[in-house]
Structure 1
Amino acid sequence: MEAKKNPDADLRKNSLFYLALGLALVTFLIWQGMEWTAYDEVVKEETVDLIESDEEEMIITEQLQQPPPPPPHPAPEIIEVVEDEEEVEETVIESTETTEDEVIEEVEDVEVVEEEEVIEDVPFSVIEDAPIFPGCEKYKSKAERKKCMSEKVQKHVNKKFNTELASDLDLEGVQKIFVVFKIDRSGNITDVRSRAPHPRLAKEAEKVIKSLPKMKPGKQRGKPVGVNYTLPIVFKVQ
């Protein structure tokens, strides 16, 4: 009995090839389906997140609306006019312009009183006209009168000062006393101050200076001024 089919047309010889091709095709389709589904879900989730975040921002940035201010009170229908009972005097400003008919009175000369220049006290070393000690008027030049006054003051102190006081105080050696005083604008002795090794010596020096006679005041630029005088008293205790 002869076979009806052609041996070359037998499909079983390529069955393995077709099986592998089918599996590959099915795998490809499954993979494509999985990729397409996963992409849709991701996009959906992202869209939801964006919408939710927008809602949150809208809630945070929402501003509270302030209520409108109350309406103003209505004006009164009737306005009462209050009369001012007090009378106000009107101020009349007179013109300062003059006319040809007006007579202008002559103003007397106004005396200008010059203020006297006050000169501060001047040291004896730079005074222009030194105070004049009684008995020094005989000298004509300023330098001679100045020298005479210094000599007279020194002689007066040497005569009046009690040097034995230092021995009573058990002081030894050279004793130095500095006295400062002023001959004021009237020629009187004022502002006597002293510095000494012992208070009793300072007191003795002040007493002697205060006993100086009144002098003619010194002058600066032709005006009487106070003159400051400094006198050192030096003696040695044997």
Structure 2
Amino acid sequence: MKLTLYLLFILTTTISLAQDNFKFPTYPGCEKRKKNDELKKCFHEKLTSEIKFGFEDQVQFWINKKTLTKTELVFTITSNGKLTNFSYTKESDPESAKFFLQQIYRVKKYYDSKNKKFSPGLKNGKPIDFQIRYYVSY
């Protein structure tokens, strides 16, 4: 079985992603990255890796699904670096979406317990709320 995870960032405000005055949120451990494309890639790689860790613990559940499923998860990194507003789109498989949201919540709790925060996105040097849409196809 192959798991493919996609990450797409969508701003809650109307900002052109190409603007120099915008900075993507920073995943813990990605602080050395400075460019937006590097931050986005590192965020994707780290979150995907941590979600796959939980996924591998539930192999039998996924084997029993037997159908190709696409799920779109949504959450926000607030201007103070907290992960909030966990949800999924109506087109998503609810059972799968809940599983993956639990994995993201587990990641959040882990970093909270280590007193590590996600750094918020910045616009003109000021923290902003940033909505993330995370696509999962398996």
Alignment TM-score > 0.5, same fold: yes
| Fraction of identical pairs, as percent | 27
Structure with the higher fraction of residues in strand conformation? 2
Question: Could you list the runs of 4 or more consecutive aligned residues of structure 1 that deviate by over 4 angstroms after TM superposition?
Answer: none
Partner deviation per Cα, 1:157-191 (whole Å, 9 max, x = no partner): 22223343233xx4213121110111011111111
- Structure with greater contact order relative to length (CA < 8 Å, sep ≥ 6): 2
In the TM superposition, residue 152 of structure 1 has moved relative to its aligned partner by: 1.3
1:228 aligns with 2:123: no
* Superimposed CA distance per residue, residues 178-230 of structure 1 (whole angstroms, 9 cap, x where no aligned partner): 10111011111111112433x33222111112123330111111110011101
Distance in 2 separating the partners of 1:154 and 1:125: 25
What letter corresponds to residue 166 of structure 1 in structure 2?
Answer: W
In the aligned structure 1, how far is the partner of 2:28 from the partner of 2:12?
22
Corresponding position of 1:180? 74
Max Rg structure:
1
Q: How far, CA to CA, are the matches of 1:207 and 1:187 in structure 2? A: 19
1:183–1:228 contact (8 Å) kept in structure 2: yes
Identify the residue that residue 99 of structure 2 maps to in structure 1. 204
**Equivalent residue for 1:164?**
60
Between the aligned partners of 2:16 and 2:44, the Cα distance in structure 1 is 11
Structure 2's unaligned 5+ residue stretches are 1-10, 112-116
The one-letter code matched in structure 2 to 1:204 is F
CA RMSD of aligned residues (A): 2.5
CA 1:124–1:152 in 2, change beyond 3 Å: closer, same or farther? Answer: farther
**1:129 equivalent in structure 2:** 23
**In the alignment, which residue of structure 2 is the partner of 1:67?**
none
Kept in 2: contact 1:130–1:217 (CA 8 A): yes
Q: Is the 8 A contact 1:124 1:227 kept in 2?
A: no
